[in-house]
Amino acid sequence: MKYRSIKGTKDILPGEIEVWQHIEGLVRQVMRSHNYHEIRTPIFESTALFARSIGELTDIVTKEMYTFRDRSDESVTLKPEGTASVLRAYIQNNLGEHASLSKLYYIGPMFRQERPQAGRLRQFHQFGAEAIGSQAPALDAEMMIIALDTYRSLGITETALKVNSVGCQRCRPHYKELLIDHLAIIASQLSAESQSRIQNNPLRVLDCKDEQDQRLLQNVPLIKDYLCQECADHFTHVLTTLDETQIEHTVDGKLVRGLDYYTKTAFEITSSALGSQDALAGGGRYDLLIEELGGKPTPGVGFAAGMERLIMVLTKQKPITFSAPLPTLYIVSADEQARHWTFQKAIELRRRGIAVEVDYLDRSVKAQMREANRLNCEFVLVIGERELTSGSGTIKNMISSAEASVSLSQLETFFA
Ligand code: HAM
C-alpha cells in the first residue's frame, strides 16, 4: 500500500518553501507598514459559525465544507476562510475594548472541497487582513492597496481591480425584488444552475460563468444603481479615494462575491496570467456581521488573497530561483575519534549561529568532500588524528580555493 496525499492537497518541498517564506516575509512587511497585527486562529471551528457568517445557502456552506462530528458529537468544520474565525476571536477576546480600531492580519491554510484544477485546491493558503471598528471608506481602499502593494513588490503588475457596492439591509431587499422580477422574465432561457439560484440567492446569478446566461443578463438591473443614500455616498467616497491614489480600477456592477456577509463595498483582484480561476484576491465590507455573530454592532472590512495563485502568476512571469539556505561549513571526519570531535564542535558552532554540516553516514573522506561540494558549502575543514593532536587545522574556501590555518579551540573566531 502506497499512501498518497489527499486529492487537492500539495506538499510544499524544500526548494519551493523558500518562495513561500519570501512571500510571507513580504506580506508581513507590508502588513507591518500599515499597522496590522498578526492573529492565528484555530484550524477548525464550530460548523454553525461558518454557516451563520458565510451564508447557509452559499456554495461554500452547502457543498464545500469539510465538516465532521468529533467524538463529543459536536459538528466542527475545517475553516474554509479566515474572516469568520477572526471575528469570532475578536468578539470572544473583547478586542474591541482594547482598541477602537483593530487591524489584524493572518497567513494560513483554508479548506474547501472544490473540484481540484489549476489554481483550485482543497487545502490552499491565504493571506488576509481585517480592519474592525471603522466605517471609513479609506479603509476599504486600504485593503485593495495592501493586496496590490504586495503584488507590486513581487513584480506582479498585470492585475485588474474590480469594485462594486452590494448595498445594505436597507437598499438590498428592494433591489432583490426588482432583480427577481427581471430574472423571472428570462428564467426559462437561463442555465439550470442560475434558475436554481433565482429564489435562494438571486445576486449570485449575476456572476455566473455561463456565456449564454451572461448574454441574457446584459440589461439586468444592477445594485449600484439602486443604493440608498448612505451606501451611494460610501461607494463614491471609495472610488474617489482610489482615483486620488491613482489605483486603476473598474466598477463591475455584476460583482457579488460568493460569501453572503458583504455590505457596501465588494472587490476582486484578477490576473490575466491565471486561467479560469483568475481571482487573486477578494474582499469587502461586512458592517453587520459582527453583530450577527453576537458582538456589539461594529463595522468591518477585509480581504484575503490566495497564496498558490500568487505563486502561479510569479512562476509564469519568470522562473523563480530561490535556493535552500546552505550550510556555511562542512567538517569532514577522517576517523572515528575525529567523528566524535566533529559532532561536538558542530553543536557548539551551531549554537553560535554558524550553519554547519557533518557526516552521519560513515562516509569516506572523499565522499564527505563530494557531499560538501554538492551542498555548496562555503568552507570545508578536514579533521583527522594530526589536527586533533596539533590543535589546528586548515579551512578551505571552496569558492576561491584559498586556505587558512585555524585554531580548533577558537574556530568560531574565523566566522566572526
Ligand atoms: P474568497 O474570495 O472566497 O474570499 O477567497 C479569497 C481568495 O482565496 C481567492 O481570490 C483565491 O485567490 C483564494 N482561493 C479561494 N478558494 C481557493 C481554492 N479552492 N484554491 C486556491 N485558492 C483559493 C474570502 O475567503 C474572504 N474571507 C475574503 C475576505 C476577508 N473578505 C473580507 N475579509
**Does the residue 9 lie in any domain?**
no
pLDDT of residue 15: 86
Mutating to test ligand 1, I would choose from 59, 276, 309 the residue with most ligand atoms within 8 A of its C-beta, which is 309
- Tell me, in angstroms, the distance from the centre of ligand 1 to residue 258's CA: 9
277 lines ligand 1 (CB under 6 A): no
Residues 90 and 233 in one domain: yes
Residues 303 and 370 in one domain: no
- Which residue in 167, 168, 128, 135 sits closest to 300, CA to CA? 135
175 lines ligand 1 (CB under 6 A): no
Q: Which of 256, 289, 317 is the last residue of a domain?
A: 317
Q: Which of 295, 317, 339 is the last residue of a domain?
A: 317
Residues 313 and 234 in one domain: yes
79 lines ligand 1 (CB under 6 A): no
120 lines ligand 1 (CB under 6 A): yes
91 lines ligand 1 (CB under 6 A): no
Residues 313 and 333 in one domain: no
Classify residue 61 by its DSSP letter.
Answer: I
The secondary structure element, H or E, covering residue 253 is none
**Does the residue 8 lie in any domain?**
no
**Does the residue 322 lie in any domain?**
no
Residues 237 and 160 in one domain: yes
User: How many CB atoms within 10 Å of residue 416?
Assistant: 7
Residues 125 and 156 in one domain: yes
Residues 336 and 399 in one domain: yes
* Nearest atom, ligand 1, residue 302 CA: 33
Residues 166 and 48 in one domain: yes
Residues 336 and 242 in one domain: no
* Nearest atom, ligand 1, residue 259 CA: 3
pLDDT per position as a tens digit, 247-293: 999 999 999 999 999 999 999 999 999 988 899 999 999 999 999 99
pLDDT mean over 325-340: 94
Task: Find out whether 353 and 374 touch, Cβ atoms under 8 Å.
Answer: no
**Does the residue 177 lie in any domain?**
no
**Does the residue 291 lie in any domain?**
yes
* Nearest atom, ligand 1, residue 81 CA: 25
pLDDT per position as a tens digit, 59-92: 999 999 999 999 999 999 999 999 999 999 999 9
Q: How far apart are CA 303 and CA 416, in angstroms?
A: 45
**Does the residue 145 lie in any domain?**
yes
Q: Supply the CATH number for residue 346's domain.
A: 3.40.50.800
327 lines ligand 1 (CB under 6 A): no
Mutating to test ligand 1, I would choose from 81, 204, 280 the residue with most ligand atoms within 8 A of its C-beta, which is 81
Task: Find out whether 224 and 253 touch, Cβ atoms under 8 Å.
Answer: yes
Q: Supply the CATH number for residue 97's domain.
A: 3.30.930.10
Which of the pair, 320 or 161, is modelled with greater confidence? Answer: 161
Residues 384 and 273 in one domain: no
Residues 239 and 377 in one domain: no
Residue 223 pLDDT exceeds 90: yes
Residues 388 and 265 in one domain: no
**Does the residue 301 lie in any domain?**
yes
- Tell me, in angstroms, the distance from the centre of ligand 1 to residue 110's CA: 9
Residue 406 pLDDT exceeds 90: yes
Determine which residue's CA is closest to atom 8 belonging to ligand 1.
306
Q: Report CA 400 to chain centroid distance, whole Å.
A: 41
Q: Which of 251, 283, 317 is the last residue of a domain?
A: 317
- Tell me, in angstroms, the distance from the centre of ligand 1 to residue 107's CA: 12
159 lines ligand 1 (CB under 6 A): no
Residue 37 pLDDT exceeds 80: yes
Q: How many domains does the chain have?
A: 2
Cross-sheet strand order for the sheet of 67-69:
44-46, 75-78, 67-69
Plot region of 176 (φ>0 → left; ψ -120 to 50 → alpha; else → beta): alpha
Q: How far apart are CA 80 and CA 111, in angstroms?
A: 5
302 lines ligand 1 (CB under 6 A): yes
Domain range spanning residue 341?
329-415
Q: How far, in Å, are 175, 176, 188, 202 from residue 205 at the CA level? A: 14, 11, 14, 5
**Does the residue 196 lie in any domain?**
no
Q: How far apart are CA 166 and CA 283, in angstroms?
A: 12
